[in-house]
A and B are shown apart, each in its own frame.
Chain A
Amino acid sequence: NAGVTQTPKFQVLKTGQSMTLQCAQDMNHNSMYWYRQDPGMGLRLIYYSASEGTTDKGEVPNGYNVSRLNKREFSLRLESAAPSQTSVYFCASIPWGGGENTEAFFGQGTRLTVV
C-alpha cells in the first residue's frame, strides 16, 4: 500500500499563478487534512474534510480552496499564489470512526515556492 501520496513534490510558481496540489490515500480513511509547515513553526491546519462530501476551514484557510473529490482524494487549490504561501504542504488522513487508533498518516510533502 502506498499510504498517502502527494503530487507534485516540488513546485515553483510566479505570483498570481494558480495550481492544485493533489493528495490521495489508499487506506479507506474517512478524514483528510491539509497542513502547511513554515520554517521554525509547527504544522498549521489549512482545511480538513471529516468525511466524503464535507470540508471545513482550519486555522489558516485564506487564499486556499479544497475539494474532496471522493473518499480517496482531497485536493488543495491556490487560486492566485502569493509569496506568503511559500511553504511545505502536507496532506494527512485519519481513520476516525472510533477505536483506539486515531493517529494521522502523512504524505511526503509538497515544497512550494512562490516568486
Chain B
Amino acid sequence: GESVGLHLPTLSVQEGDNSIINCAYSNSASDYFIWYKQESGKGPQFIIDIRSNMDKRQGQRVTVLLNKTVKHLSLQIAATQPGDSAVYFCAVHTGGFKTIFGAGTRLFVKA
C-alpha cells in the first residue's frame, strides 16, 4: 500500500536561516503532492502543492521540489521566522479520492 515517510521528526533552525523538510513516498503512480502546516491546537492548513508533471514550484518564502526518480519531495522555507514553528506534513494523492499523510516534522525556530 501507500506509505509516506519523513526523514527527520524534529528540525531546529535559527531564525533567519533556511529550513528544509524532506518527505519520501513509495508509490510511483502518485500524481499530486501537498504540504500542510499544523499549528498547535489547529487543523492542518495548506501551504503549497505540486503536480507530478512539475519538479519545482515556488510560493511566498516556500519552495517545493519533487524528484520522481527517487520518490522524494522537499519543502524549503526561506528566512525562517518564529511564526513558522509548527508541524509540517507532506500528503500524497494517488488517483481516486484518497490522500495519504506522512507522520510530520516538527519545526522549531530559535530566536
Main secondary structure of the interface of B (DSSP, over half): strand
Q: Determine whether B56 belongs to the interface, using a CB cutoff of 8 Å to chain A.
A: no
Name the segment of B13-21, B38-46, B61-69, B78-86 touching the other chain.
Answer: B38-46
Number of interface residues of B (CB under 8 A): 23
Interface 1/0 per residue, B22-47 and A, CB below 8 Å: 00000000001010100001111110
Interface 1/0 per residue, A96-115 and B, CB below 8 Å: 10000011111111000000
Whether B43 lies near A106 (C-beta < 8 A) is yes
Whether A90 lies near B44 (C-beta < 8 A) is yes
Partner of A109 from B43, B93, B97 at Cβ < 8 Å: B43
Interface 1/0 per residue, B90-111 and A, CB below 8 Å: 0101000111111110000000
What are 18 sample pairs from A and B whose C-beta atoms fall under 8 A apart?
A: A31-B97, A40-B9, A42-B4, A42-B104, A43-B101, A45-B98, A50-B97, A58-B98, A94-B99, A102-B93, A104-B34, A104-B36, A104-B46, A104-B99, A105-B46, A106-B43, A106-B44, A108-B43
